[in-house]
Amino acid sequence: MLELRLVQGSLLKKVLESVKDLVTDANFDCSATGFSLQAMDSSHVALVALLLRSEGFEHYRCDRNLSMGMNLNNMSKMLKCAGNDDIITIKADDGSDTVTFMFESPTQDKIADFEMKLMDIDSEHLGIPEAEYHAIVRMPSAEFARICKDLSSIGDTVVISVTKEGVKFSTRGDIGTANIVCRQNTSVDKPEESTIIEMNEPVSLTFALRYMNSFTKATPLANSVTISLSSELPVVVEYKIAEMGYIRFYLAPKIED
């Protein structure tokens, strides 16, 4: 038996909107730790890892570890029927081939339940090692989204370079080139508006903008985004989900032929 009650149901709606275009089908894993997902896109270029910790739910009952295969597009269709202020409860019985999403309006005057068919998904779980990154950039998530959107109108790839000068996002295309440099800026009053660059050593990597733009669909989840870069690893683009966990996107770099 599984019963997870999330008072801030809009978080789950936002999570789905941020992953449904990247991943078609995925297993949601439920354990004492929380509600999680790890999935790759169909071409194995990007990986998404989501964790919503059990403590973040108002009520969290998960009698035994359960993996529920869901079509994310269908799940999104159902969650779109929940109001932004609704409380969402996810329910499943042991051995059942369905999951139920219950939506309660804040005033309890409307209660809806949507039952969705589960699916069997053969998914490969990957081990993501703890790593030291050459550079970690934290910046406003809206600023990062704007940069990715702007650069994708010029080129298909972005070179992200971190030096002591700052972080530079560059692209080139048929019509020309573009460079955007963001410098460390901690003087602003609000910490979520600051740009913080931790650099152990300079790093420069090239990524497909199509994926970066897809990751920025998670922007409504967090004011800040953290970009961790290492020349030996996929980049990690992380959005913290307030008091609950995170959504992390890993993207393999372009490699010189």
Partner 1 sequence: DSKQGNILSFFKKV
Answer for which of 157, 195, 224, 228 binds partner 1 (CB under 8 A) is 157
Answer for which of 61, 110, 125, 183 binds partner 1 (CB under 8 A) is 125
Does position 139 interact with partner 1 (CB under 8 A)? The reply is no
Distances (CA, A) of 90 to 106, 185, 197, 219: 17, 41, 39, 24
Q: Give least dist CB 35 to partner 1, A.
A: 19
Could you tell me which residues are beta bridge partners of residue 176? 173
Could you tell me which residues are beta bridge partners of residue 125? none
Stretch of 14-22, 126-134, 143-151, 179-187 lying at the interface with partner 1 (CB under 8 A): 126-134
Answer for which of 44, 61, 117, 183 binds partner 1 (CB under 8 A) is 44
The edge-to-edge listing of strands for the beta sheet with 166-173 is 176-182, 166-173, 157-163, 203-208
Answer for which of 4, 90, 102, 208 binds partner 1 (CB under 8 A) is 208
Answer for which of 128, 154, 180, 196 binds partner 1 (CB under 8 A) is 128
Residues 230-249 that bind partner 1 (CB under 8 A): 233-234
Could you tell me which residues are beta bridge partners of residue 72? none
Q: Say how many C-beta atoms besides its own lie within 10 A of residue 36's C-beta.
A: 17
Closest of 201, 178, 216 to residue 46, by C-alpha: 216
Answer for which of 94, 124, 130, 132 binds partner 1 (CB under 8 A) is 124
Q: Give least dist CB 54 to partner 1, A.
A: 22
Q: Say how many C-beta atoms besides its own lie within 10 A of residue 241's C-beta.
A: 21
Could you tell me which residues are beta bridge partners of residue 10? none
Interacting residue ranges for partner 1, rule: CB under 8 A? 40, 43-47, 124-129, 157, 206, 208, 233-234, 250, 252-257
